Amino acid sequence: MLWVQHVVWTRLAIVSIVFDLPDVDFVINRLLRNPKDFESALKPFYGDKIASQFADLLTSHLVIAAQLVKEAKAGNTEAVAETEKRWYANADEIAAFLGSINPYWSEEDWRTMLYEHLALTKSEAVYMLTKRYEDSITVYDKIEKQALQMADVMAKGIVKQFLNNCTEQF
């Protein structure tokens, strides 16, 4: 559910930013709750420090994404290029972090999934900005499917890691 909420609220934030909707601050605040929700879900498995580190990385991911959409909307291509580099660097940090906390999560696999997520999200925003609304819906369907894949990888890794830990104790 958390990965689906991540992409749903990201889409709503893109729409609110692109169309200057009066709910933009509320939508972004709700979107920024997602990392805290992830933190709460990961805490029982990984403890406060690791869960908090993930929340911080995911918050940065979302803040950078919102900044990217705002810069693209303003037509500031230099700022867009720099911010996009930061977005991918953040994805690298997230992939390395996840790969380091669970032996069943591969940094390379997470990087691949996160890069795909960024590319799809960028396409979604570009389609909104260029009034290609049907294309934005088509790409959102891909984003949703991809988010479910990330959720599966995360859940399966947690189950394997902690199921193995439980069976080793017996």
Q: Residue 163: its pLDDT value, please?
A: 84
Residue-range domain boundaries for the chain: 2-158
Measured at the CA of 113, the angle between CA 32 and CA 119, to 5 degrees, comes to 75
Yes or no: say if 70 and 25 are a contact pair by the CB < 8 Å rule. no
Distance, in Å, from the CA atom of 150 to the CA atom of 144, rounded to the nearest integer, reads: 10
Enumerate the H helices of the chain as residue ranges.
2-18, 24-31, 33-74, 77-101, 107-129, 133-169
- For the beta carbon of residue 142, count every other beta carbon within 10 angstroms: 14
Q: Residue 99: its pLDDT value, please?
A: 97
H helix or E strand, kind and range, residue 22: none
Q: Residue 126: its pLDDT value, please?
A: 96
Q: Tell me the average confidence (pLDDT) per consecutive run of 10 residues in the chain, 170 residues long.
A: 97 97 97 98 97 98 96 96 98 98 97 98 97 98 98 96 67
Q: Residue 167: its pLDDT value, please?
A: 56
Four-residue CA torsion sign, 128, 130, 132, 136 = negative
Residue 129: what residue type?
L
